[in-house]
A and B are shown apart, each in its own frame.
Chain A
Amino acid sequence: MDRATQVIVFRLGDERYGVEISQVREIIRPTQITRIPNAPNFVEGVINLRGQITTIVNLRKRFGMEAKPIDNDTRIIVVEHDNAVIGMMVDSVNEVKYLSEKEIESLPSIITSRSEAKFLKGIGKLPDGLMILIDLNKVLSDDEVEKFRS
């Protein structure tokens, strides 16, 4: 049998992105965000998620896209990474999809080696179009942050 991956599909601008469901803890609506001055520009701030301080990353800014004000569709995808809980702010969360292995195509290194594409893990081919699978480790790791800033 084909091993299927379950992904959460979200939207940033005109693109559809997917993140593996096993890495996602919950999806919440934006609450009051406390800004942290001097933080990296893509860090929106922190929230109190049931007593736990959670850093919110604006994925638009992280991907070098233009920021967009929070609206009714804005969601925060809470993920666990490296023992830390981080929230990724996205335009909207649409659905959960099953992807079989053959529906996922990895990207050639000529693309992933380019800095603006380094967060990409592969392309998911769905009947109604393509979807970009993101690599959480790369999106959220500290080394990348360093490189990103310098």
Chain B
Amino acid sequence: MNEFGEMLQEFIHEAREYLDAMNQELLNLERGDFDAVNEVFRAVHTIKGMAGFMGFKNLENLCHKLENLLGEIRDEKIEINSDLVDILLKAVDKIAEIINLIENNKKDEIDISDILSSLESWKKSCKENKTSENQNLNLDADFVVDIKIADDCLMKSVRAALVIESLKEFCKVVSVVPSEEEMDSTNFNGKFSILAKGDCSKIDEVLERIAEIDSYSIKPLSTREQTKEPKKDSNVIEEDKLKIEKVETREKEEDKEAIPEKKKSESVRVNVSQLDKIMNLVGELVIGKGRLLQIASQYDIAELKEAVSILDRAITNLQDEVMRIRMVKVERVFNRFPRMVRDLARKLGKKVEFTMEGLDTELDRTVLDEMTDPLIHLLRNAIDHGIESPEERKALGKNEVGKIKISAKRERNNIVIEIEDDGRGIDLEKVKKKAIEKGLISESSAASLSNEDLISLIFLPGFSTKDTASEISGRGVGMDVVKTTVEKLGGSLKVATKKGEGTKIRIQLPPTIAIIKALLVNVSNETYAIPISSVVEALYVDSTNYKVIHGNPFIIVRDKLVPAFKIKEIFGIRNGKMEREVGIVVEKNGEKYALIVDSISEQQEIVIKPLTGYLSKVKGFNGITILGDGRVVPILDISSLIGGDNF
């Protein structure tokens, strides 16, 4: 039972991968890349095979029907258009739905009659001219193999499919009688014939390998011999082999589904939760290392210090390696975007050319997962609010087809994701009006707002320029959520927009988040950690550079006023006045702020542990960490700490 569970997991994983590929390839197909149909075909075929093996009849059936339709497309009997792709995509969605169902209930019982009938009806439209071509194909075969599968074989059709697949490895299967379809549906008795072209010398060897075959015979076809008459037997085979090899290479693209296995990749599948566990253990190691370092310096033991330094190096390497394992290509998430963009654009009657760049840029899995919804939201916005309708674009003298681009790249220590469109841009006047209407700003203050200030209004909770929240954008994930997610991950977000020319959103993210360098600061008898990445500098604060202007405290850093925040006051820590305090200058969205603390104790590598339960909604913290000496220290989150009260 357990083994079955594992197999099921594997099946679900793999099926999902194939589904991703299918979505991708179907879009390529729509764009005119005819070879894509082979990729899709191969994927469907594999899922079908797996489903059959796992006993998911419904899924198998659906795949089978889909495969048939794809077969017709491949044989160029059906013209490809967007409506057809729609139906194919719907079928893919259905498969995805079934996979989800299987994951949750281990069952695939779901109504698929709708999708089956739409697949069927497409196929019927081309049924007429099918028969004659089939005849032609028959003439093209070199030999026929009659096979009888053992009576006690349980799944004869699957066994037959296996035989056919095996033969495809070295020769071209032209036709199967009865057809694979008939084998599945009617009471298949185990007898079938394969018409094939190519090298028949290995058939014996292959068929011997397959269990449960009762008997088989190979007969060369006379039609073939007529055309090839002058050749002698052995030569024919030799010659043919050469020829076939050439044909095979030429036909590689077209015949991909016949290649049994993709090239072996040197990787193993690891469960995400296991990876997380390893990550946690490495985190514990880092904590333990910290403790040892502390003991070593406390007691000043040279030998221990040396041993710890070796351990330190190993742990650092281990940590780097685990971090690298956690990195995934943005491709993993980006891959679903083309499909989404296409569907949405079609629904809204807009024409969009969608491009993606930097697909192999790597990002920590957690960061990427967290970013998925925000990115989807931004793309939706670009299509829904950004890109104009084709008519509007034409009238404006723009290309009818709008452009949306998403790109990812590494910039120094950060990952930068940009979403760009050439639509109408953000209408700042409209933003202003809306904000006043919603009471987010007052009319008088609105006049003095700069363009940047106006753009930042769209990130306020409860802001949306569309009057009615459409089904597309406005599903609760607002721009404010996009912003908070990015900031929670330690990143930042910038919007550049030009009316009539488009919008560009730039998201900067740290590639990894779990272990960071932090500054430990003391406030009264409490300790807090500040991520080094947001710290610009630290300086002493006394009466000479600390000023209160109109009730707001500032510190003067090189003749510039920097708004200051007293941690003591923010956190309600009661303590007498210190003579000299320390100002930590931090940066948030390009602005500088100073946090005033009592002193800095040290700089340390810390492992971020999330705040859970009651504490998950507490503002001002990013997480929590355990230091080498066992102390628990909260990690300050600059953006929610400063943004919380002021914005």
Contacts and interface: CB of A to CB of B under 8 A. Distances in A.
Contact of A43 (B570, B614, B631, B634): B614
A142 B613 contact: yes
A57 B526 CA distance: 19
Contacts of A39: 614-615, 618
Contacts of B284: 51
B443 to A, nearest CB: 31
B609 interface: yes
Contacts of A38: 571, 618-621
Contacts of B632: 32, 34, 46-48, 53
Interface string B598-612: 000000000001011
Interface of B: 284, 287, 526, 570-573, 609, 611-615, 618-621, 624, 626, 630-634
A117 interface: no
Interface in A38-63: 38-40, 43, 46-48, 51, 53, 55, 57
Contacts of B571: 37-38
B626 A57 contact: no
A46 B631 contact: no
Nearest to A51: B284
B615 A43 contact: yes
B570 A48 contact: no
B618 A46 contact: no
A35 interface: yes
Contacts of B287: 51
Contacts of B526: 34-35
Contacts of B609: 53
Contacts of B621: 36, 38
A93 interface: no
Instruction: Give the 4 A-B residue pairs with the shortest CB-CB distance, closest first.
Output: A37-B571, A34-B632, A84-B613, A48-B632
Given A84-B612, A142-B614, 7 more contacts: A32-B631, A34-B624, A37-B571, A37-B620, A43-B614, A47-B632, A53-B609
Contacts, number: 62
Interface of A: 32, 34-40, 43, 46-48, 51, 53, 55, 57, 82, 84, 86, 140, 142, 145
Contacts of A35: 526
Secondary structure class of chain B's binding surface, majority of residues:
mixed
B633 A34 contact: yes
11 contacts: A34-B624, A36-B615, A36-B621, A37-B570, A38-B621, A43-B614, A46-B624, A55-B612, A55-B614, A55-B615, A142-B613
B634 A34 contact: yes
A133 to B, nearest CB: 23
A140 B612 CA distance: 12
Given A32-B631, A53-B626, A46 B570 contact: no
A37 to B, nearest CB: 4
Contacts of B619: 38
A55 B250 CA distance: 66
A30 to B, nearest CB: 14
Contacts of B612: 53, 55, 84
A55 B617 CA distance: 13
B337 to A, nearest CB: 33
B622 to A, nearest CB: 12
Nearest to B567: A37
Nearest to A40: B614
Contacts of B620: 37-38
Nearest to A140: B613
Given A51-B287, A55-B612, A36 B618 contact: yes
B460 to A, nearest CB: 21
Contacts of A140: 613
Contact of A86 (B613, B618, B626): B613
